[in-house]
Amino acid sequence: MAASIHLAEAGLRVSCIEAEPVDSDPVGESLDWSAPALLKALGLPMEYLLAQGIATYKRHVVLKLMNGSEQHYIPGEWLGKPPYNVDLQTLHVDRAQLNHALRAIFLAKGIRLVSDRVVHVETAGRSVKRVMTAQGERIVAKWYIDASGSNASLLPRIFDLPVYEYGPRKVAMWDYFTVPESIEGTTLHADPCPRYMEWVWQIPIHPNTISVGYVSPGEAVKEKRQRGLSVQEIFETQLQRFPALRGLVHDTAQDTPKQQARTTSFRCRVFARTAGPNWLVAGEAAAMVDPMTSNGVTAALRHAAEASELIIRYRNRKRIPRLPAAMYSQRMLSLARFFNSAIENVLYDSPVRNRIGPFKAGDVYTIPAWSMNLVYSRMRPRGLVATTLFRLLLATLRYSLCAFHWWCSRPQFSSQIATAT
Ligand SMILES: Cc1cc2nc3c(=O)[nH]c(=O)nc-3n(C[C@H](O)[C@H](O)[C@H](O)COP(=O)(O)OP(=O)(O)OC[C@H]3O[C@@H](n4cnc5c(N)ncnc54)[C@H](O)[C@@H]3O)c2cc1C
């Protein structure tokens, strides 16, 4: 929808093919600090979203451990001053309502919404010639953007593009709860165990409604299912482990009939190439970034803006020139690789957490991750020089964190942990 709006505003005739026009359990509720400006560009400024009750303020992130200790991660005040002038607040959103507001803007632009599923893509060499839908419509266009999400990733699969994968396959289960009051921040409840980390998000999407979700490696959920536990039982057992969440399970026990937690599974991955002669890939179809980074919506909106920018700039040519197409791919790739690699090495995997403690590990992740997102938004790298410099910066940080992970994994540290536990 975001890409369609940008293209229609530039005067292009746009069709958007959407397999499920009615949202089924959309996620992506805690937004990064770079998201408000991207939403504003689509006609949804922060003040409007707050006034309409579509969003709540997100001022910070809280990491809360099982023993009740917690650490608050707040963007430094210096970021709010010149020359950065960053708005130090971002948003939590009710995704169903946000999609509804976006759809109203989308329809007002005269974009043709095709409620159908793409089932076949006809190609000629590295170009897309036409797409066919389940109901038999053939759609021919000069340019194509694939925003089909991480389960479909239509064009990367058709063109068999190389992919980088991060961490194990994970399962998320979540539900919504009514609470007397909520805090203006996203809370991550974590069990700082010496193994791979599992965590629970708590996001206030309205002042009295929180979204609570549990993320776990797929294998761990499979093992519990094989022991006969239902998804709801796994979800409730996990919430009961955290003192701050226990009351929620108690509340749901009074609800009759009991609603099952929503569930999805995903694998973090990034495609190495996301642009061709007449096509671009955007959002999770290009890169599935781990939910703990709160970066998926920002990335999708950013891809939509940059992909449309390329089409608008080269609309009178036969193809997107190779260099700008390669730079688009490189920017999407290096940002998503950085986020996925950093969160896996520093927080999910245990060596760094065990060595420096979960709160310091939170700093080691959030300081570079938040800064890189803001630098990207300010610098808006586009050409060869700016994109290369930015890629080098991201690669340096990524390799440094990998090296730190390796250093913390050395046998002497592992044995210290083993002795301590
Ligand atoms: C558990 C979980 C929690 C998350 N939490 C956060 C968070 O807190 N903050 C954040 O920023 N991000 C979060 N994310 C990521 C965020 O949800 C996504 O990155 C964001 O919604 C963008 O998704 P998208 O539009 O690329 O893909 P999707 O939302 O998956 O949309 C893809 C669309 O393509 C359609 N489609 C698929 N195949 C076809 C086809 N063949 N033909 C036609 N249409 C098709 C689908 O119907 C769907 O509407 C989370 C993700 C998960 C899995």
- Does ligand 1 have an atom closer than 6 angstroms to the CB of 19? yes
Is the separation of the CB atoms in 106 and 240 below 8 Å? no
- Does ligand 1 have an atom closer than 6 angstroms to the CB of 291? yes
Bigger pLDDT: 74 or 214? 214
How far apart are the CA of 284 and the centre of ligand 1, in A?
A: 6
- Work out which ligand 1 atom sits closest to the CA atom of 119: 41
How far apart are the CA of 254 and the centre of ligand 1, in A?
A: 32
How far apart are the CA of 305 and the centre of ligand 1, in A?
A: 16
How far apart are the CA of 180 and the centre of ligand 1, in A?
A: 30
- Does ligand 1 have an atom closer than 6 angstroms to the CB of 43? no
Does the global pTM surpass 0.85? yes
Nearest to 175 by CA among 207, 202, 208: 202
Q: 362-402, pLDDT tens digit by residue?
A: 999 998 998 888 888 888 898 999 999 999 999 999 999 99
How far apart are the CA of 29 and the centre of ligand 1, in A?
A: 11
Tell me the percentage of the chain whose pLDDT exceeds 70: 95
pLDDT score at 10 = 97
Tokens at residue 228, please?
């006969």
Q: 393-410, pLDDT tens digit by residue?
A: 999 999 999 999 999 998
pLDDT score at 294 = 95
Question: For 58, what's the count of Cα atoms within 13 Å in the CB-facing half-sphere?
Answer: 29
pLDDT score at 79 = 73
